[in-house]
């Protein structure tokens, strides 16, 4: 799916694609190395291009959903307390910053950012446990209606980019994505009434128009800072909060929404509501630049 993106890229002051030089006497060797590691370089130093390609089968729901390919969503973050309890998701946007939902209530003194996780039972994959130096919540976040439901987390030390850990691109403030576009949300939220998954889950789901969303939730509940998706047998659920809703264009994935709210029972026929990244992009850039 392609959509119109006028200004796109990594978060402010993050590294994007590297400049590679070839020496004349060693062009063949260097060209081989460039070709063999191109996918890794794109993932490690750029944004939105996983080194391990995602495989999404369609409209399977996180509630009773499907396992993601290990490492295929390298910006996915698990927010955990000191006991290892997962309570929210998030998205890595550069080496020092993670985007999550304000309603997750992250406390830098008690909570940690886990990068590179997939299997929460055995932790067989390499993970990075990161401390948080600051949690900056949008100044106009409303805990009653979840308007401006976004918090930025500054890591105490830089994330190390690998084939399993790399940032997502941020949707620009001028982007336009048509309703019906199929996007993907990921997380370790509930997969049933009480069950939580061992492996990272994924689901493809369509964006729906503001009018469609308002007709379900009421015209006073859906604001310009929100975007809706689902309502077709798919849904995110508790524990997915703060995690990504990403849309793909020309092989690059863009953070379009942040899992925010929905029905208390994760009704897969009700629209799920996400914080709209394009609306919040200016605040994100300003906050990162000033901190």
Q: What is the mean pLDDT of the chain?
A: 81
At 180-198, the pLDDT tens digits run 999 999 998 755 555 677 8
> What percent of the chain lies above the pLDDT cut of 70?
74
Give the pLDDT score at 192: 52
Res 45 pLDDT > 90: no
Q: Does domain 76-166+282-290 have CATH number 2.40.50.40?
A: no
Please check the confidence at residue 157 and state whether its pLDDT lies above 50. yes
Residue with structure tokens 């401006």? 148
Q: How far apart are CA 61 and CA 90, in angstroms?
A: 19
Give pLDDT tens digits for 121-131: 886 789 999 99
Cβ neighbours around 280 below 10 Å, total: 22
Region 11-36 average pLDDT: 37
CA pair distance 271, 206, nearest whole angstrom: 10
Q: What is the mean pLDDT of residues 43-61?
A: 75
Lowest mean pLDDT, pick from 94-98, 235-239, 256-260, 278-282: 235-239
Average pLDDT over residues 191-207: 77
pLDDT in tens, 66-96: 899 999 999 999 999 999 999 999 999 999 9
Span 138-146, mean pLDDT?
97
Asked whether residue 19 carries a pLDDT value surpassing 50, the answer given is no
Three-state SS letters, the chain: CCCECCCCECCCCCCCCCCCCCCHHHHHHHHHHHHHHHHHHHHHHCCCCCCCCCCCCCCCCCCCCEECCCCCCCCEEEEEECCCCEEEEEEEEECCEEEECHHHCCCCCCEEEEECCCECCCCCCCCEEECEEEEEECCCCECCCCECCCEEEEECCCCCCCCCCCCCEECCCCCECCCCCEEEEEECCCCCCCCCCCECEEEEEEEECHHHHHHHHCCCCCCCCEEEEECCCCCCCCCCCCCEEEEEECCEEEEEEEEEECCCCCCCCCEEEEEEHHHHHHHHHHHHHHC
* CATH number for domain 48-68+168-278, candidates 1.20.1630.10, 2.40.50.100, 2.40.10.10, 3.40.50.2300: 2.40.10.10
In angstroms, the CA 53 to CA 202 distance is 13
What is the per-residue pLDDT for 190?
59
Catalytic sites, residue numbers = 103, 149, 241
Task: Give the residue, 121 or 17, on which the prediction is more confident.
Answer: 121
- pLDDT for the residue 174: 93
- Give mean pLDDT, residues 188-214: 81
Longest C-alpha distance within the chain, in Å?
67
Instruction: Please state the domain extents for the chain.
Output: 48-68+168-278, 76-166+282-290
Q: Do domains 48-68+168-278 and 76-166+282-290 have the same CATH topology?
A: yes
Separation CA 277–CA 284 (nearest Å): 9
Q: What is the pLDDT of residue 17?
A: 33
Report the distance separating Cα 210 and Cα 7, nearest Å: 23
């Amino acid at each position: 799916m392609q959509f119109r993106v006028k200004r796109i890229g990594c978060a402010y002051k993050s590294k994007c694609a590297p400049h590679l030089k070839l020496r004349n006497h060693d062009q063949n060797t260097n060209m081989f190395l460039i070709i063999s590691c191109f996918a890794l370089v794109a993932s490690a130093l750029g944004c939105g291009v996983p080194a391990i390609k995602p495989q999404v089968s369609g409209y399977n729901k996180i509630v009773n959903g499907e396992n993601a390919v290990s490492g295929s969503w390298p910006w996915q973050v698990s927010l955990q307390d000191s006991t290892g309890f997962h309570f929210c998701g998030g998205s890595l946007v550069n080496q020092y910053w993670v985007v999550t939902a304000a309603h997750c209530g992250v406390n830098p003194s008690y909570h940690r950012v886990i990068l590179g996780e997939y299997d929460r039972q055995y932790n067989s994959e390499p993970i990075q446990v990161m401390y948080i130096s600051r949690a900056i919540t949008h100044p106009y976040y409303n805990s009653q209606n979840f308007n401006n439901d976004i918090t930025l987390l500054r890591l105490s030390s830089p994330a190390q980019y690998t084939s399993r850990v790399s940032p997502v691109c941020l949707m620009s403030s001028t982007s336009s994505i048509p309703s019906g576009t199929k996007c993907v949300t990921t997380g370790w939220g509930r997969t049933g009434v009480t069950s939580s998954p061992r492996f990272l889950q994924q689901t493809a789901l369509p964006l729906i128009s503001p009018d469609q969303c308002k007709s379900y939730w009421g015209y006073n509940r859906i604001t310009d800072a929100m975007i809706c998706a689902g309502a077709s047998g798919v849904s995110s659920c508790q524990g997915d909060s703060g995690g990504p809703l990403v849309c793909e264009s020309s092989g690059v994935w863009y953070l379009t929404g942040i899992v925010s709210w929905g029905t208390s029972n994760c009704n897969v026929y009700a629209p799920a509501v996400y914080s709209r990244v394009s609306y919040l992009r200016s605040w994100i850039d300003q906050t990162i630049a000033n901190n």
